[in-house]
């Protein structure tokens, strides 16, 4: 089932999410729904708070090449264990901040630990787009958006655009 994605600014996108204590079937199905929602958007990552669920859960798939099998990852309680000193700059976007992109500098490689869909502990290193994406999604669980890395003026400009977009959408719905 597809969910609707919250648009910034929204107080739920600014909160720290709670760790998942018990991996229930309900949470597994929610993760599947999140993947469906992410692919439909389309996007390469989605965090639970973006659909209004305040649990530490993210999904991602940065495999963009055509004809290549999708590589969906479901991560409960993801944690960055270590990060490289070397950095990378990517132009980032966010499903909660549609059509806005900006360059963000982050560690080039990160090692991440998480619980998979079956509740098994996983540990893996990521680099390139995968590293940027997993850091962007984990940030969401701490109430942090990619625009928080930008200069205040640019951030305010994007936020104003989003406020306008939300107003327009609300008006379209009411009409
Ligand atoms: Zn995002």
Q: What is the pLDDT of residues 64-104, one digit of tens each?
A: 788 888 899 999 999 999 999 999 999 999 999 999 999 99
Q: Which two tokens stand for residue 166?
A: 């939300």
> Hey, which residues does 109 pair with through a beta bridge?
127
When pLDDT is averaged across residues 118-132 and rounded to a whole number, the result is 97
**Cα of 93 to ligand 1 centre, how many Å?**
7
DSSP for residue 53? -
When pLDDT is averaged across residues 39-55 and rounded to a whole number, the result is 97
Q: Which of 43-52, 57-66, 81-90 has the lowest mean pLDDT?
A: 57-66
- DSSP characters for 103-124? EEEEESEEEEEEE-TTS-EEEE
**Cα of 28 to ligand 1 centre, how many Å?**
21
CA 174 – CA 136 distance, rounded (Å) = 33
Contact 56, 20 (CB under 8 A): yes
CA 101 – CA 22 distance, rounded (Å) = 36
Contact 159, 9 (CB under 8 A): yes
End-to-end CA distance of the chain: 26
Placement of tokens 């070397």 in the chain: 86
Q: Within a 10 A sphere around the Cβ of 32, how many other Cβ atoms? A: 15
**Cα of 151 to ligand 1 centre, how many Å?**
18
Catalytic residue among 69, 103, 137, 168: 137
When pLDDT is averaged across residues 127-149 and rounded to a whole number, the result is 98
**Cα of 116 to ligand 1 centre, how many Å?**
20
CA 64 – CA 11 distance, rounded (Å) = 31
When pLDDT is averaged across residues 131-151 and rounded to a whole number, the result is 98
**Cα of 95 to ligand 1 centre, how many Å?**
6
Q: Which of 60-69, 92-101, 131-140, 148-157 has the lowest mean pLDDT?
A: 60-69
**Cα of 96 to ligand 1 centre, how many Å?**
6
Q: The whole model's pTM is what?
A: 0.96
| pLDDT for 25 | 96
Q: Is 86 a residue of the active site?
A: no
φ, ψ of residue 58 to 5 degrees: the values are -135, 155
Residue 152 has pLDDT above 90, yes or no: yes
Residue 175 has pLDDT above 80, yes or no: no
When comparing pLDDT for 138 and 69, which is higher?
Answer: 138
């Amino acid at each position: 089932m597809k969910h609707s994605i919250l648009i910034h600014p929204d107080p739920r996108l600014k909160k720290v999410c709670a760790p998942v204590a018990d991996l229930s079937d309900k949470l597994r199905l929610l993760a599947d729904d999140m993947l469906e929602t992410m692919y439909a958007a389309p996007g390469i990552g989605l965090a639970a708070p973006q659909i209004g669920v305040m649990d530490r859960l993210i999904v991602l798939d940065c495999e963009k090449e055509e004809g290549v099998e999708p590589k969906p990852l479901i991560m409960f309680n993801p944690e960055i264990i270590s990060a490289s000193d070397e950095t990378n700059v990517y132009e980032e976007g966010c499903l909660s901040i549609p059509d806005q992109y900006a360059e963000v500098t982050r560690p080039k490689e990160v090692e991440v630990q998480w619980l998979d869909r079956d509740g098994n502990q996983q540990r893996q290193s990521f680099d390139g787009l995968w590293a940027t994406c997993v850091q962007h999604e984990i940030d969401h669980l701490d109430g942090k958006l990619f625009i928080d890395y930008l200069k205040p003026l640019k951030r305010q400009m994007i936020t104003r655009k989003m406020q306008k977009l939300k107003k327009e959408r609300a008006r379209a719905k009411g009409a």
